[in-house]
Amino acid sequence: MAVDVRAGVVRRAWDTDLAYSFRNSPVAVISAIVTLVLILGSLFAPWVAPHNPFDLSTISLIDAFDPPQWIEGGSPDFPLGTDEQGRDVLSAILFGGRISLGVGLFSTIFAVVLGVTAGLIAGWRGGVIDAFIMRVADVQLSFPAILVALLIDGIVRSTLPHDEQDQIAMLVLVGSIGLSGWVQFARLVRGSTLVERNKEYVQAARVIGVHPIRIVVTHVLPNVLTPVLVVATIYFAFAIITEATLSFLGVGVPPTEPSLGTLIRVGNGYLFSGEWWITVFPAVTLAALVLSVNLLGDWVRDALNPRLQ
């Protein structure tokens, strides 16, 4: 009985317009596969990766600068070669992907929560509150997001003692990337809220006597979330890039726990001395991840757009 019900749910999910549009878009299928492989590989890095690059007892300087295994001098122990400390590049990428994806995910959630809240308040209340929130947003939008993130990151770092910085580096990154990205969610949600607020179902709730906060949460919010989902997918890719950029500039996560951006920065130093694999493989991984998430976001946007159906 329970199996029947579950099969029914799968059947119904398979039959939806969204699933149909997905099956008929090769770009969406390929980018979903790439994204899924990278996410699963990173998530299960401790079991999938051939080595643990953070376990000092397993790395040996003798293995440093090994090329990938298909090149003369490479070893099958290290499929994509090793870096200057003898760490396996493939394992470092998988473990680094965890940090990139984690920072990307949490900073997107942070930006969405902040932006949606600000947008709902601005759109619902209107007047002075709306003007204030949206002018702050306009001012922030006139700076490049990376500059805002760099600024917040710099301020937090300079106010904290040095030995605590590495522990909260992730938190600082999530906070600064999230704070630099709330604006687009706030604008999006404010616009939709202005439309929904005047619809008759919201007025009906007011006539019933529902508390305004409850109206916003139970009536307006579910009806403004669809475009947020689309922008959040694209912002997720942007957040990963921003994290990599900050790490590349040396203000992101510390080299002892490298993200993809840190790996690219460290490897960058050896690019012209012949050890190209140290930087190229993390860079290709990053590019593949961001590209497929972006393409997936584009597909979601088109699939959910009623005017394109």
Partner 1 sequence: MADAVLRLNDVRRLFDVSAPWLARILSGTGPRMLKAVDGVTFEIARGETFALVGESGCGKSTVARLVVGLYEPSSGSIEIDGTDIASLKTRKAQAPVRRRVQMVFQDPYASLNPRWRVKDIIAEPIRTHGLIRGEAAIRARVDELLRQVSLTPADGDKYPHAFSGGQRQRISIARALASEPEFLVLDEPTSALDVSVQAQILNLMKDLQRRLGLTYLFISHNLAVIYHVSDKVGVMYLGRLVEVAAKADLFARPQHPYTRLLLDTVPDLAMTGRERVAVRGEVPNPIDPPSGCAFHPRCPFANERCKTERPSLLAAGGNMVACHAVQEGRLPPWGGAA
Q: Determine the interface stretch with partner 1 among 56-64, 84-92, 200-208, 260-268 (rule: CB under 8 A).
A: 200-208
Q: Determine the interface stretch with partner 1 among 1-9, 27-35, 183-191, 207-215 (rule: CB under 8 A).
A: 207-215
Would you call 159 exposed, middle or buried from its count of C-beta atoms within 10 A (0-12, 13-18, 19+)?
Answer: exposed
Q: Does 251 bind partner 1 (CB under 8 A)?
A: no
Smallest distance from the beta carbon of 211 to partner 1, in angstroms?
7
Smallest distance from the beta carbon of 212 to partner 1, in angstroms?
9
Q: Determine the interface stretch with partner 1 among 1-9, 165-173, 184-192, 216-224 (rule: CB under 8 A).
A: 216-224
Q: Determine the interface stretch with partner 1 among 172-180, 197-205, 237-245, 295-303 (rule: CB under 8 A).
A: 197-205
Smallest distance from the beta carbon of 201 to partner 1, in angstroms?
4
Smallest distance from the beta carbon of 131 to partner 1, in angstroms?
11
Q: Does 205 bind partner 1 (CB under 8 A)?
A: yes
Q: Which of 58, 60, 167, 203 binds partner 1 (CB under 8 A)?
A: 203
* b/e burial code for range 113-148 (CB count within 10 A of at least 16 → b): ebbbbbbbbbbbeeeeebeebbeebeebeeeebbeb
Phi/psi at 88 (5° precision):
-65, 125
Q: Which residues contact 145 (CB under 8 A, 6 or more apart)?
A: 180, 181, 238, 242
- Output 39 or 210, the one with its CB closest to partner 1: 210
What 8-state DSSP symbol labels residue 199? S
Q: Does 201 bind partner 1 (CB under 8 A)?
A: yes
Distance CA 100, CA 13 (A): 31
What 8-state DSSP symbol labels residue 66? P
- Output 121 or 205, the one with its CB closest to partner 1: 205
Give SS3 for 256. Answer: coil
Q: Are 125 and 256 in contact (CB under 8 A)?
A: no
* Residue ranges in contact with partner 1 by CB under 8 A: 199-201, 203-211, 219, 222-223
